[in-house]
Chains A and B, each alone.
Chain A
Amino acid sequence: MGSYQLKYHAKKPEGIENKKAYLVGSGIATLAAAFFLIRDGHMDGKNITIFERKNVNGGALDGAGNLEDGYIIRGGREMEEHYECTWTYLVIFQH
């Protein structure tokens, strides 16, 4: 599968402005889903709500701390070039 499929923009779904999306958990999966709803599904971000039980977002993707208390990562990620879905998603700006 190449550019012909990947670069294609899906048509705006009928009635998308009247839909609301609720996402449970704030792991990378729901963050990505919210992104695809907006970019590919033409949904207004204002109609999207993510529920997260903690006061920190990201689920398993963690990283916190400071010099005084020490830093903490529960794990790290080994990635590779052919994360075909991830790399189409991570084209957002860092800021």
Chain B
Amino acid sequence: MYMDLFGDIPTLEDPERTVLDDMKEINDWDPNVSAKRVIQNRGEEVDSSTLGLKDHHIKQLTKLFLAKEEDLGDLTVEQFFTPDYFETNMWLLWRSMFAFQTWHSVVEMKRYMERFIHLLPGMTELRNILFSRYNQYDSFVLPLVKWLEDHGVKIENNTLVTDLDIEISGKEKVVTGIHLVQNGEEKHIKTTRNDLVFVINGSMTENSTLGSMDKAPELNRELGPVWSLWKNIAAKDPSFGRPEVFYENIDKTKWESFTVTFKDSKIADIIKDLTNRDPYSGRVVTGGIITIKDSNWGMSFTLSRQPHFANQPDDVLVLWAYGLFADNEGDYIKKKMSECTGEELLRELLYHIGVEGELMEEIVDSAIVIPAMMPHITSQFMPRVKGDRPEVVPEGSVNLAFLGQFVEIEGDCVFTVEYSVRSAMIAVYKLLNLDKQVPEIYPSKYDIRHIINATKTLYGNKPLPGEFFVKKLLKDTSLEGLL
């Protein structure tokens, strides 16, 4: 049985294959497509096959596409669009897929629209989205750490960096020392202009707290050590950014997620009914998140390819869910999401997918729920202006670079692995003065084919204004087929 189900899954951990090979192999074999993107009324599918835009929404989106960032400043999404935009399918899909809120930066929304314009036609069904074989830690972190350690890199754990000594003279900025606390002991490392110092400034997952089956996660409002470090560094020079723009508004940057471990197969039948897919097949199940339109918590959930963990038994399913509005009361559990225990979170989810009575009790009894509260999880989306985020290598810096989600990289989008990796590449090439170029951001926004396809998507796949005439014009030419 097991062999039949998993027979054509490529070897799991082949030492001859790279992480990229594995990623492409599994996504070619099993491309993601949404089973049901949106549901309501406890399991009923909502038609979200088009973006549901009216002409004036398309006008606003076009205006955003053409606007310059400096002219948009720190405008929020809410300030840019008319209120009825937030009733459209596009906003529902957008908000849930990227964890975007109405009070977030419209500049970042513009960047997403442009950077991923080639994905817009597939957006309603989450096509062309890639998922790793396992969870992100097993699939990415473990092989990377192993590779680095094999090459002699030391990772010193339980080591907190609290501040840097930075000598600023004339136009030059040089890190001359690192203050750290290692296993509780304060230490100081001297650095010279010949050394290199890379700092991840800010963190989306700083001060995350976990709950349990019978305990809600406690929201931690303290200033965590990652933000403190950036704050200490930023105090030394304006070119090091303004961390408070991102960490101060916890109620605008927090949300809560929870992971459910199902030991009983009863949930499998429910998922099967909902998605028409077998959760034990090893292939995508929900196909990315399913969003519950009438969830007051703004809840979405996903059952990724199983097993989601390398050590997960075959008959166990691991599901992930999150809610955008942790301060709202539930529809079944009449409590704020943030006040709910793991058990209550699961009950609310089960209610929304049509489970009740004895079956709900049985499923809850054999499940383990771990809630996670993340105070800064969307801090990277907060409205910002130039200078709030430092350059990767600030002006005049000789040996210091900033990395991660809170640096300024023209044209790329935060809340992506790519943004962090790009910052790393820019930093290394620049500080070492390498005669090598960082790959350009995929320039799909300049590609007329992608622009046409995206425009068609905005118009709900109806013919574009003037399409008939352009087609007629191009007929029997080498450009026939462009539209």
Contacts and interface: CB of A to CB of B under 8 A. Distances in A.
Interface of A: 1, 5-6, 8-11, 13, 15-16, 18-38, 40-41, 44-46, 48-67, 69-95
A10 B435 CA distance: 6
Given A71-B318, A71-B370, A90-B19, 18 more contacts: A15-B194, A21-B198, A25-B203, A30-B403, A31-B141, A32-B420, A35-B148, A40-B434, A45-B153, A48-B148, A48-B152, A57-B145, A67-B316, A70-B368, A79-B131, A79-B132, A95-B13, A95-B146
Contact of B137 (A24, A30, A62, A92): A62
B196 A26 contact: no
B374 interface: yes
A42 to B, nearest CB: 9
Given A19-B196, A29-B404, A65-B370, A40 B180 contact: no
Contacts of A77: 131-132, 136, 417
Given A1-B440, A24-B200, A37-B428, A64 B151 contact: no
Nearest to B122: A80
Contact of B434 (A10, A59, A65): A10
Interface in B317-339: 318, 320, 322
Nearest to B213: A70
Contact of B194 (A18, A25, A35): A18
Contact of B425 (A30, A32, A72): A32
Contact of B155 (A57, A66, A89): A57
Contact of A52 (B132, B143, B159, B196): B159
A24 B198 contact: yes
B18 A90 contact: yes
B296 interface: no
Interface stretch (B255-263, B267-275, B463-471): B255-263
A40 B436 contact: yes
Interface of B: 13-20, 22-23, 97, 116, 118-119, 126, 128-132, 134-138, 140-141, 143-148, 151-161, 178, 180, 189, 191, 194-200, 203-205, 208, 210, 225-226, 229, 257, 259-261, 263, 288, 302, 304, 308-309, 311-313, 316, 318, 320, 322, 368-370, 372, 374, 377, 401, 403-404, 416-418, 420-425, 427-429, 432-442, 444
A81 B31 CA distance: 12
Nearest to A56: B157
